[in-house]
Amino acid sequence: MNSVNSKVIIKKLNRLNNVSKHAEKLIVDISKGATEIRPVYKVPDKLTIINVFEEIIKILIKLNINFVVSNTAKRGGQIGILITIKTFVIYGNNRTKKGATD
């Protein structure tokens, strides 16, 4: 398992061009210790579906963060896509947040 500091994630994210605000929010959540993210979600009280799956995958590869993609929907719908982070996120105060294990 590799590890990455949360400050490094934010620095590298700021260097990337053309990152949408939705993808940026999910990457910031990862830097704060989220081990599972859903890149496709429905906006509450609206019919809008936000899909940043491809963008998140590209960003995670550039940030050298290991992940696994799965789907939790009964019939395999796009809103059921789940990305599980397998990389350790190290915080500034030297605590570690372990990603999900196999």
Q: What are the backbone angles phi and psi of residue 79, rounded to the nearest 5°? A: -70, -15
What mean pLDDT is predicted for residues 81-96? 81
pTM for this predicted structure: 0.83
Listed by start position, the domains of the chain span: 3-93
pLDDT level of residue 94 (50, 70, 90 thresholds): low
Q: What is the pLDDT of residues 41-85, one digit of tens each?
A: 998 899 999 999 999 999 999 999 999 999 999 998 899 999 999
pLDDT, mean of residues 29-52: 93
- Residue 25 tokens, joined: 């929010």
> 41 CB contacts (<8 Å, ≥6 apart)?
49, 50, 79
